[in-house]
Amino acid sequence: MHEYSIVTALIEECERHAAANNANEISRVEIKLGILSGVEPELLRTAFETFKLEGICRRAELVMNIQPLVLSCLICGETTEHNERSVICSHCQSGQTKVLDGEDMLLMQLELVQP
């Protein structure tokens, strides 16, 4: 389950930001999670709850904003949003599309607690 390694990297990034801002705790971690990121939201949440227990994020709330898949069709020119893992244009059924958004996992915001 690669969600564990992703959460480990996320918590390390949170620790770096906290140290750079002289914070001793993080109360909220907000991420953007694309549908095509390859990350399962519930597995990520479980991994976060497991790994945060002894660190700077121990009381942090994880907020996940699920990013729909945004496609641009190279045939009909339409831009569409999809809430499923399909790269087929919903207007013309073409498979010749370009992904504009929905592939990434990004750390969007942290709420830091300073001493």
Residue 67: partners with Cβ closer than 8 Å, 6 or more residues away: 32, 33, 34, 35, 101, 102, 104
Q: Exposure pattern of 51-62 as b/e (b: 16+ CB <10 Å)?
A: bbeeebbeebeb
Q: Is residue 72 part of a domain?
A: no
Determine, yes or no, domain membership for 40. yes
pLDDT at position 54 is 82
The rounded distance, in Å, linking the Cα atoms of 10 and 57 is 10
Calculate mean pLDDT across residues 101-113.
95
Residue 35, pLDDT > 80, answer yes
Task: Specify binding-site residues for Ni(2+).
Answer: 2
Total number of domains constituting the chain: 1
Cite the annotated binding site for Zn(2+) by residue number. Answer: 73, 76, 89, 92
Q: Annotate 72-106 with DSSP letters as a single string.
A: EETTT--EEEESSS--S-TTT--S-EEEEESS-EE
Query: Treating both helix axes as pointing N-terminal to C-terminal, what angle do 3-20 and 41-51 enclose, rounded to 10 degrees?
Result: 50
Domain assignment present for residue 38? The answer is yes
| pLDDT for residue 88 | 94
Q: Is the pLDDT of residue 87 over 80?
A: yes
What sign has the CA pseudo-torsion 41, 49, 47, 28? Answer: positive
Q: Please write the tens of the pLDDT for every residue from 38-82.
A: 999 999 999 999 999 888 999 999 999 999 999 999 999 999 999
What is the average pLDDT across 1-20?
91
Q: How far apart, in whole angstroms, are the C-alpha atoms of residue 108 and residue 101?
A: 15
Residue 33 pLDDT > 60, yes or no?
yes
Tokens of 99: 């992904």
Q: Average pLDDT, whole number, for the chain?
A: 94
**What's the confidence (pLDDT) of residue 26?**
97
**The pLDDT value given to residue 1:** 55
Through-space distance between the first and last CA atoms of the chain, rounded to whole angstroms: 36
- Residue 34 located in a structural domain: yes
Structural domain span for residue 33:
3-67+102-113
Residues annotated in a binding site: 2, 73, 76, 89, 92
CATH number at residue 108: 3.30.2320.80
Residues 90-113, mean pLDDT to the nearest whole number: 95
